[in-house]
Structure 1
Amino acid sequence: MFLVFRWMMRLITGLVVLSLLAGVILYYFLSRSLPDYDEDFTIAGISAPVEIVRNNDNVPHLFGETDADVFFALGFAHAQDRLWQMTLLRRTAQGRLSEMFGTRTLRIDELMRRYDLYGLAQQSVAVQDAPTRAALEAYARGVNAWITEVNREARGRGAPEFFLFSNEIAAWQPADSIAILKLMALQLSGQLENEVLRARISLVLPEARVRDILPDAPGTGVTALPEYSRLVPGVNPGLAPIRQAAADVLSPFPTRELAGASNAWAAVPARSAAGGTLLANDPHLGFTAPTVWYLARLELSSGGVIGGTIPGIPAVLVGRSEALGWGLTSSYLDDQDLFIEEVNPENPEQYRTPDGWKDFVTRRSIITVKDAAPVTITLRWTDNGPVLPGSHYDIGSITPPGHVAALSWTALTGADTSMTAVIRMMGAKTTAEAIEMGRLVVAPAQNVMLADAGGVAMQLMGAMPARDPAHQSRGRMPVPGWLPENRWQGMLPYEDNPRVVNPASGLIGNTNNKTVDRPFPLHVSYTWGDTQRIQRWLTLMQAREVHTRESFIEAQLDTVSFTARSLLPLIGADLWFTGEPAPDGTPERLRQRALEILAAWNGEMSEHLPEPLIYQAWVRALQDRLIRDDLGPLADTFTHVEPLLIERVYRNVDGASIWCDVVQSAVVESCTDLARIALDEALLTLTETYGPNPESWRWGDAHQATHDHTVLGNLPVLRYFVNIRQSTSGDDHTLLRGKTKGEGPDPFLNVHGAGFRGVYDFADPDSSVFITSTGQSGHPLSRFYDDLGVLWRRGEYVPMSLDPELARAAAVGVTVLTPAAE
């Protein structure tokens, strides 16, 4: 027996030693790709020595004798810290993910090939001005210089992920950067899905009820649209929807609820306590680890500029110089239209146009698939744009037999000068200069918030489609593509883009709310991203005569929900403090306790409170009960609470209370009945998940920010090392926006929000601050992988200084790039 025990101990000890040895070897190889920020390089591609000074927060400050050398250094720094992320973004734009991930990403690649974003980016290189092409080329040389170092010095393949996906890293090209900018346009576009959804709902609901569930933002109303079946005859209203496969984390195609958002506001000197302009911006995107944002400072010939960059793009997209600050919010411009094209029944290679039948522009594309046979697809374009398959966006459910759908979208052009505008913006000295530079922006269309020493402005930058006033659906639903009144007539003049300069109030703000109230076709959009956050912003801005950097930070971090304050009195009007106290342990008593808790709540969506969780679960269950019987499976597309729908129902706007009656039941249910039933249902679900005591529930337990690694984040064990989860406050409708997932077993996870925050005070520019939601490094073994995320979660910021001596103080490393002798 002792002999057996001794050998068992030897075996266990041997396994432990082998495991430790394997761990050490694995760590050694994975850590080889961690850059040494104090290492110097002799390198080709620069004209003079370049310094990369990484300050205490690992923000690189780039100093060179020429702009080209500085852009080279940015490419070098991006590749050092985010090579895997850059590679993934490029492959996504190219439609080449399946070479790495197999059949899992085949549908993504297929649709990306049909958009042909990369081909259009290659064409767009030629239309950039000379300084922009020089910047793109220098940046590409910098990226490739680091790739060369990785290959030459065996630096762990450049990133740990490349040990699992060992495809060769192709040299970076100028077109790659333009393609990533176009990819961002795709991630910020949701009008296509809105059109399809409105068409589908039009097939099953009368117009009055469509206005309830897809309401226009408050303002001048829109006259009724024709039913979709009259616009496009032959569609079967009972047609079963084509459900897309579950969204892959690698997919660049947003759902309509996550197709862009952001906050930005600015104050003129007269509304600033310190006498300088103020600007705050927090652009919202899907959370990932690392975040898409990368902080950097570039010392250009026009002066220093610092802020948020996106790895792969050689520019500060949000940030400031000494003279100018700029921020971005999604404009919600209606820059997409879906057209139903009739196919020639005698010749399927032709489609109908206003002038008769015309051949599709056709070519084949081969998708290489890892561990599977290559897939060949046929790409077809019409005058209106690429033909999209019915299996995506549920297009097949609204396309009659003998027809296909084609997309017009401003980003689908090979003459896209947006990158030139982005590069030029960094050299602008005034808001007027920046506005003029916006003339070159095509896509993505953004509201650009601007502040210089003397004033503030907001300009929509991006191409606005020119539509015929006789357009059948005003761009709100798919229409026949062969009718001339439906087709685009070029682009509107830049002067028609909305612009606000130094308003009398001294304050400008945008939370994706409706910005103009102009008649079609100058309307900008019928679909806006916010009707709620703007109300809270107005309250905070109007509460002070003058503002400070701190008051702007306070607004960025505000978690009070105007929506909760508005909806709870409506839906609970007949439930508060009614009836006799129920016995403990009964559903009635649990409901009474929940209502007592909510009655004393001020609407603050704090992670530490139970009230936000009860409120969210209640209104979510209520909305599902309101729409489920009328929409059936279509109800699944409404994954987030629509406040205007609930308000219309409980105020009985245009008879909207009819939603409360369950059609299939004999009893006529009241809105109070539905509110009570929904609350009981929500509390039952919460009890099963969080226990029987509502006072102990915490919103933060459900509302965790999901900064998950796009590839390794789903792997067992590894997920605990690469995913960053944080309990967070806020929700879909607070200024500190934490958009919930909306579906699945954890619908309240925080998946979309401010990956970057910046506040700029031009009374003392170096007192400006910024932060990102994870860290500078994309390497999970780096201490800079998640260090900024700790500050972000606590609502803290780091300095945004252009003082080179402050950058050098306590720097984590200084890299010198010396030109190689030719």
Structure 2
Amino acid sequence: MKRSLSVIAFVVVLIAGSGAWYIHGKQPVRDGEIALPKLQAPVTVRYDERGVPHIKAENQDDLYRTLGYVHAQDRLFQMEILRRLARGELAEVLGPKLVNTDKLFRSLRIREHADAYVARQDKNTPAWKALQAYLDGVNQFQATHPKPIEFDVLGIEKRPFTAEDTLSIGGYLAYSFAAAFRTEPLLTYVRDQLGADYLKTLDLDWQPQGALHPSPALTSKDWKGLGDLALLSQQALEDAGLPQFEGSNAWAVSGSRTQSGKPLLAGDPHIRFSVPAVWYEAQLSAPGFELYGHFQALNPFALLGHNMDFGWSLTMFQNDDVDLIAEKVNPDNPNQVWYQGAWADMTSRIDQIKVKGQSPISFTLRQSPHGPIVNDVLTASGIQEHADTPVAMWWSFLESENPILQGFYEANRADTLDKMRSAAEKIHSPGLNVVYANAHGDIGWWAAAQLPRRPEGVNPAFILDGSTDQADKNGFYPFSANPQEENPARGYIVSANFQPVSPLGIEIPGYYNLAERGRQLDKQLSDNSVKWNLDNSQALQLGTRTDYAEQILKPLLPVLRRVVSDPEEHDLLERLAAWKGDYPVDSVGATLFNQFLFNLCDQTFRDELGDALFSTLISTRVIDMALPRLAADEHSPWWNNRNSNEPESRDHTVKVAWHAAVSHLKSLYGLNPEEWTWGKAHTLTHEHPLGRQPPLDMLFNVGPFAAPGTHEVPNNLSASITTAPWPVTYGPSTRRLIDFADPAHALGINPVGQSGVLFDKHYADQAQAYVTGQYRPERFSEGDVAGNSREVLRLVPPR
């Protein structure tokens, strides 16, 4: 027995030791000296207490090569999975469930566009050389180190990263802005199948002259295909567990309105949460160049950044840069469509998707003169069917020159208004608001995008008729037509995804957010009695109140008081009526309102739209705009349930929704309403791409944490409109505050941690601080960096 126990103990120790050795071999190396080929001189990388690298090089080529190396050792799997998503290669490593996601991204033509874009670039510009040096650093790390754990789990083989991968990820980011795939089929269905009275609630003009072909334009098969496309366009991003841009806050305050007398810059881009976090922080230092930047996977140029002289943040412009176009097919030739007065050929080619554990799947990619066909039916069986009515996609990302890499290379060096304006003009797609401040006292904002010239009267919120001139484009407006401001007299600028105004008065269609968040920020920033500093700016960024709930409840509370008779439920109702629209973690009113909101949507919209389009509706910004109007209109046809034999009123539907909400919360959290707190129901879990599969979720995911905030408050920790509990899906991807009286002591926070390497000490070391609203210093000065360095890595040329 003793011998057997000794053998067992030896085996356990051996397994434990092997596991520890395996994990240790995957960890980042942040201390010591490493030879890195192609370096011209030694480079020092000092890591601070959060694992942020502070890179000091003697030239910019070495600087970017080192950035690529250290970025890869912390985020190599993120780089790999993002390029696979963008280029339609996920099924090769994640299996058959991702085939339709790959089909979608192949249909978007991001791969071909990125390849062609790279082929025509001038390879001798400083920006292109910086990209190549960065990618060389990434590839040198990959070639000389063990594969990440995720590579082993999924069987991913190493292959070099390329400029085509970088540009493909840029296409994915542009796509993640595009709401057209969800919104346009939905609105067109309401217009053409339900009619003007229903569309009125969605606040869009009904245009019968804008309907599609005189004969039934879209068949039931087409509507199903479009519904599947709408769901897939959302689920593809969710299923991959990868970042998706959703909204943002940014503001700049001039020195006349700050306590320090210098401009103050604040920014918090709202992006889908993930592990690792979307941003990788690094300080870059070389002769003639200093920047503390926030970088995305495979991009050497910071999308957010600052130094002692200037800084900038981004929000989503959310202009409509995608049109869906229903084609008229030649009845005598299914490969032709009517285009500008004549039958024109569609082109097609066979593409092939590799699938893990299965044979490759071949499918057909079709394209009309208007653009790629995107609605060929995606079936669960993988057998492709062509839609009865091909729907093409026109996308400015595929049509504009878009020198976006050059734009951000210049933005990283833009120490004047003129330089940043010039950089913003080079960002064509995706649409971005660039909010800027500098130490000289300037503040500015530019809506960066190329805005297409559409025919007068065309509403691109609907699917357009390809047999008419609706889908024609007459180039793009000049940058001077874009919304923009420089040093406004009021002394501040706010950007919060609301509808902007062009200085030339042109219409700018888009899928903008509610104005409430922007109004909340503007109301406080406009208070002349306040002098802004880092402390009160933190409170502004962390605000959790909105008047949106009040807009919905004001017309419905009298209804509820008429229809709720149970004394216990009446007490709950009065508790809701007394709620001020604030979302701290201990709020009960927030929980009650959000459950009631979902049940109200469910009882009102599902019967007319069906399950697929209802799911699409509550994933779009259309629902945010519609609910206050619906609540105020007792005669809206949406109140009537089409599946009922008797007509139904607002009173009846509100009563059913209320009872359903109370019943659900009792079943979930018990009979005592004091237990129905917002933090119990509203939680944040940072999800890794592998964390969607139990039991890997317990290993790779971070959380859950009780989360304050909600949809469209400054602290925009948002969950879908659904039934409780509410997992937070997106929110501030960082919170940054920079006072240009002392930019070396800027504040920021990472939602999870710097590292994407499982078991690393910086994998999740900021998660608790983030959700509780804490900030951390973004160290910049030599003394601060030196005094807080925890590890020092030297990269040297080979001897």
TM-score normalized by the length of structure 1: 0.89
Post-superposition shift, 1:355?
4.9
1:282 pairs with 2:268? yes
- Report the equivalent of 2:290: 304
1:32 pairs with 2:25? yes
Pairs within 5 Å for 1:457-536: 457-469=444-456, 471=458, 474-516=459-501, 522-536=506-520
1:740 pairs with 2:706? no
Pairs within 5 Å for 1:115-130: 115-125=108-118, 126-127=120-121, 130=125
Find the partner of 1:241 among 204, 209, 224.
Answer: 224
Q: Distance in 2 between matches of 1:393 and 1:510?
A: 41
In the superposition, relative to structure 1, how do residues 530 and 358 fare at CA in structure 2: closer, same or farther (>3 Å)? Answer: same
Post-superposition shift, 1:796?
1.0
Q: Distance in 2 between matches of 1:86 and 1:260?
A: 21
In the superposition, relative to structure 1, how do residues 251 and 635 fare at CA in structure 2: closer, same or farther (>3 Å)? Answer: closer
- Report the equivalent of 2:568: 590
1:252 pairs with 2:237? yes
Between 55-64 and 592-601, report the one with greater CA deviation. 592-601
Amino acid at match of 1:27: A
1:565 pairs with 2:550? yes
- Report the equivalent of 2:198: 209
1:148 pairs with 2:126? no
Amino acid at match of 1:76: Y
Post-superposition shift, 1:664?
5.0
1:142-201 CA-partner distances (Å, limit 9, x unpaired): 101111221xxxx3x2x1111112332111222222221221111121123211111112
1:4-45 CA-partner distances (Å, limit 9, x unpaired): xx89x978x977875564344223212311012003111112
Q: Secondary structure at the match of 1:596?
A: helix
1:755 pairs with 2:741? no
Contact (CA 8 Å) 2:314, 2:432: kept in 1 or not?
A: yes
CA RMSD of aligned residues (A): 3.0
Between 696-705 and 235-244, report the one with greater CA deviation. 235-244
- Report the equivalent of 1:3: none
- Report the equivalent of 2:632: 651
Contact (CA 8 Å) 1:72, 1:139: kept in 2 or not?
A: yes
Q: Distance in 1 between matches of 2:463 and 2:437?
A: 39
1:635-664 CA-partner distances (Å, limit 9, x unpaired): 333336934423223333xx7544334455
Between 681-690 and 295-304, report the one with greater CA deviation. 295-304
- Report the equivalent of 1:388: 374
Q: Distance in 2 between matches of 1:709 and 1:497?
A: 37
Amino acid at match of 1:539: K
Amino acid at match of 2:101: I
1:65 pairs with 2:47? no
- Report the equivalent of 2:344: 358
In the superposition, relative to structure 1, how do residues 506 and 518 fare at CA in structure 2: closer, same or farther (>3 Å)? Answer: closer
- Report the equivalent of 1:189: 178
Q: Secondary structure at the match of 1:782?
A: coil
Q: Distance in 2 between matches of 1:722 and 1:556?
A: 26
Post-superposition shift, 1:710?
0.8
**Structure 2, unaligned runs of 5 or more:** none
1:407 pairs with 2:355? no
Q: Distance in 2 between matches of 1:175 and 1:250?
A: 25
- Report the equivalent of 1:819: 797
Q: Distance in 1 between matches of 2:581 and 2:678?
A: 12
Q: Distance in 2 between matches of 1:600 and 1:784?
A: 43
**Structure 1, unaligned runs of 5 or more:** 1-5, 217-221, 583-587
- Report the equivalent of 2:421: 435
- Report the equivalent of 2:781: 803
1:719 pairs with 2:698? yes
Post-superposition shift, 1:238?
9.7
Amino acid at match of 1:148: A
- Report the equivalent of 1:80: 73
Post-superposition shift, 1:687?
0.6
Contact (CA 8 Å) 1:345, 1:402: kept in 2 or not?
A: no
In the superposition, relative to structure 1, how do residues 413 and 668 fare at CA in structure 2: closer, same or farther (>3 Å)? Answer: closer
Q: Distance in 2 between matches of 1:740 and 1:253?
A: 13
Contact (CA 8 Å) 1:124, 1:414: kept in 2 or not?
A: no
Q: Distance in 2 between matches of 1:141 and 1:725?
A: 37
Q: Secondary structure at the match of 1:316?
A: coil
Contact (CA 8 Å) 1:284, 1:754: kept in 2 or not?
A: yes
In the superposition, relative to structure 1, how do residues 353 and 490 fare at CA in structure 2: closer, same or farther (>3 Å)? Answer: same
Q: Distance in 2 between matches of 1:594 and 1:543?
A: 36
Contact (CA 8 Å) 1:561, 1:733: kept in 2 or not?
A: yes
1:161 pairs with 2:156? no
Find the partner of 2:165 among 167, 171, 176.
Answer: 176
Amino acid at match of 1:719: M
- Report the equivalent of 2:675: 696
Find the partner of 1:132 among 114, 127, 130.
Answer: 127
Amino acid at match of 2:90: L
Post-superposition shift, 1:603?
1.7
Find the partner of 2:49 among 52, 56, 59.
Answer: 56
Post-superposition shift, 1:750?
0.4
Amino acid at match of 1:296: A
Amino acid at match of 1:715: P
In the superposition, relative to structure 1, how do residues 436 and 698 fare at CA in structure 2: closer, same or farther (>3 Å)? Answer: same
Contact (CA 8 Å) 1:265, 1:281: kept in 2 or not?
A: yes
Post-superposition shift, 1:510?
1.8
1:742-798 CA-partner distances (Å, limit 9, x unpaired): 34x755110111111111111211231111110001012011001111211111111
Between 225-234 and 745-754, report the one with greater CA deviation. 225-234
- Report the equivalent of 2:359: 373
- Report the equivalent of 2:654: 675
Task: Count how many residue pairs are aligned between Structure 1 and Structure 2.
Answer: 784
Post-superposition shift, 1:248?
10
Q: Distance in 2 between matches of 1:656 and 1:770?
A: 49
1:662-694 CA-partner distances (Å, limit 9, x unpaired): 455566644344333322210100110111100
Find the partner of 1:636 among 608, 612, 615.
Answer: 615
Pairs within 5 Å for 1:544-559: 544-545=528-529, 546-559=531-544
Q: Distance in 2 between matches of 1:254 and 1:499?
A: 36
Post-superposition shift, 1:83?
0.4
In the superposition, relative to structure 1, how do residues 491 and 740 fare at CA in structure 2: closer, same or farther (>3 Å)? Answer: same
In the superposition, relative to structure 1, how do residues 231 and 624 fare at CA in structure 2: closer, same or farther (>3 Å)? Answer: farther
In the superposition, relative to structure 1, how do residues 567 and 69 fare at CA in structure 2: closer, same or farther (>3 Å)? Answer: same
- Report the equivalent of 2:281: 295
Between 227-236 and 455-464, report the one with greater CA deviation. 227-236
In the superposition, relative to structure 1, how do residues 25 and 613 fare at CA in structure 2: closer, same or farther (>3 Å)? Answer: same
Between 757-766 and 19-28, report the one with greater CA deviation. 19-28
- Report the equivalent of 1:219: none
TM-score normalized by the length of structure 2: 0.91
Contact (CA 8 Å) 1:202, 1:227: kept in 2 or not?
A: no
In the superposition, relative to structure 1, how do residues 451 and 531 fare at CA in structure 2: closer, same or farther (>3 Å)? Answer: same
